[in-house]
Amino acid sequence: MKKLISSMVGGITGAVALNIVHQAVKQIDHEAPRVDLVGEEALTKGMESLGLTPPNGNALFIATLTGDILSNALYYSTIGFGKKRYLLLRGAAVGIAAGVGALTLTGPMGLSDAPVTRTDKTKLLTVAWYTLGGLVAASVMRALRNK
């Protein structure tokens, strides 16, 4: 039970950390990744393909942010599977994989990759921030398991 709870709490914490960084830096750096725009496009296209009217404006932003936190929390919680000894290594690996996925999977999914691939700096920050989220998740899991 301790492993499951620490994995869930760590996953949520990593996802929230990732989104705080995304939201804060986009306010001050025009080269910051805009994963939120990719998410908004994905949500809009997905709902339209189901014949539903997607939200717009602030409602679209909140829906996308909520979905992003939930999906990243679930993804980051997988770091907790396996031995405690390798949590930080798995956190880094899972984070790097998510960042590379954000760079390479948007186009094949029919989404614009421009918000995450505009410049080399944007690409680097995309991978770095997902890696940070993975490391935060792993660190929280480790701390909770040491109690």
Task: Give me the number of domains the chain comprises.
Answer: 1
Q: Are 99 and 131 in contact (CB under 8 A)?
A: yes
Q: Which of 102, 111, 128, 127 is nearest to 35 (CA)?
A: 102
* Rg of the chain on CA atoms, in Å: 16
Please enumerate in sequence order all residues whose Cβ is within 8 A of that of 9, keeping only pairs 6 or more positions apart, or say none.
140, 141, 144
First CA to last CA across the chain, in angstroms?
A: 14
pLDDT tens per residue across span 67-124? 999 999 999 999 999 888 899 999 999 999 999 999 999 999 999 999 999 999 999 9
Helix axes 57-77, 35-49, angle to 10 degrees: 100
Structural domain including 110 reads 2-145
pLDDT of residue 1: 66
